[in-house]
Amino acid sequence: MKKIALITGASKGIGKALAEKMLDENFFVIGTSRDGEFSDFNTKDFYALKLDLSNPTSIENAHKEIFNTFKNIDILINNAGIGPDLDTYIPEKKSFNNTFEVNVDGAVFFTEPLIDMINHDGIILNVSSKMGSLDVCESTDSVAYRMSKSALNMYSKILSNRLKGKPRVASIHPGWVKTAIIESNLKNARLTPGESADKIFKFLTMAFGNGIYWDCENETELPW
Ligand SMILES: NC(=O)c1ccc[n+]([C@@H]2O[C@H](COP(=O)([O-])OP(=O)(O)OC[C@H]3O[C@@H](n4cnc5c(N)ncnc54)[C@H](OP(=O)(O)O)[C@@H]3O)[C@@H](O)[C@H]2O)c1
């Protein structure tokens, strides 16, 4: 039987490339997007799920659909994320709240009810960012985005303590990737989504330690 990976935000960017990679690697993939429409995945091994992480009712409906359709999951990848204040300097209330709703509340409250159905030898992977590291931060930009990723990292740490490796939990930096999360990335970033997905998949196959914060681009551990 194929292993099952649930990837949030699989409609574009890193999540889409990761879904393609995992299908190539013989996984069954449950992919989410806000409209639940996926015209690019024409295979019986892909299950399209509608999920808006900023909407608690949508999260609840997605859980019901998952529980009714699947018995267990091997890998949960909390990839969906937004960065409306990337490259800006002064926090603005609406985008600040929206960033936290999706990147923090959404990730936490989507994950919690699923934990019991994730196999003990499975993985919960939180797609964070190097921008969430307190240790390496010398910047003054992107307040909400950076803070949301620091908060997500703390969730990874707490969850890894709680679950004690059953399943293992990690936070990763996927690299600087050419996606539309911010328009300038499409031109300036170093990695294509496919290259990032390859590096994330390589990490997933490593015997990494529970509760690690890993830079997939440089293949090194990151300081929290
Ligand atoms: N690109 C980079 O250089 C970089 C670097 C470090 C970390 N990251 C992280 O990598 C992850 C993926 O980012 P990306 O660059 O691939 O961005 P992206 O191309 O903008 O893709 C974001 C994904 O998240 C989904 N999404 C957006 N809002 C959502 C919501 N409210 N509820 C559920 N899903 C939602 C989108 O789906 P729909 O719009 O179809 O719903 C889309 O599939 C994010 O967590 C990001 O912070 C990216």
Q: Which residues, 6 or more positions from 130, have their beta carbon under 8 angstroms from its beta carbon?
A: 136, 173, 215, 222
CB-ligand 1 contact for 31 (6 Å cutoff): no
- Relative to the CA of 149, which ligand 1 atom is closest? 47
- Relative to the CA of 176, which ligand 1 atom is closest? 3
CB-ligand 1 contact for 80 (6 Å cutoff): yes
What does the DSSP assignment read for 98-148?
HHHIIIIIIHHHHHGGGGGGEEEEEEEEEE--GGG-STT----S-HHHHHH
DSSP H or E run through 7: strand 4-7
- Relative to the CA of 127, which ligand 1 atom is closest? 45
- Our mutation pick for probing the ligand 1 site, out of 8, 14, 130, 131, counting the most ligand atoms within 8 A of Cβ, is 14
How far is residue 108's CA from residue 92's CA, in Å, rounded to a whole number? 23
The pLDDT assigned to 157 comes to: 98
How far is residue 153's CA from residue 188's CA, in Å, rounded to a whole number? 26
CB-ligand 1 contact for 75 (6 Å cutoff): no
CB-ligand 1 contact for 81 (6 Å cutoff): yes
In the chain, what percentage of residues exceed pLDDT 70? 100
The pLDDT assigned to 125 comes to: 99
Supply the range of the domain harboring residue 130. 4-221
Residue type, position 189, single letter: A
pLDDT tens across 30-48, in order? 999 999 999 999 999 999 9
Q: Residue 194: give its domain's CATH number.
A: 3.40.50.720
- Our mutation pick for probing the ligand 1 site, out of 82, 172, 186, counting the most ligand atoms within 8 A of Cβ, is 82
The pLDDT assigned to 4 comes to: 98
The pLDDT assigned to 200 comes to: 98
CB-ligand 1 contact for 12 (6 Å cutoff): yes
pLDDT tens across 159-207, in order? 999 999 999 999 999 999 999 999 999 999 999 999 999 999 999 999 9
Count of the separate structural domains present in the chain: 1
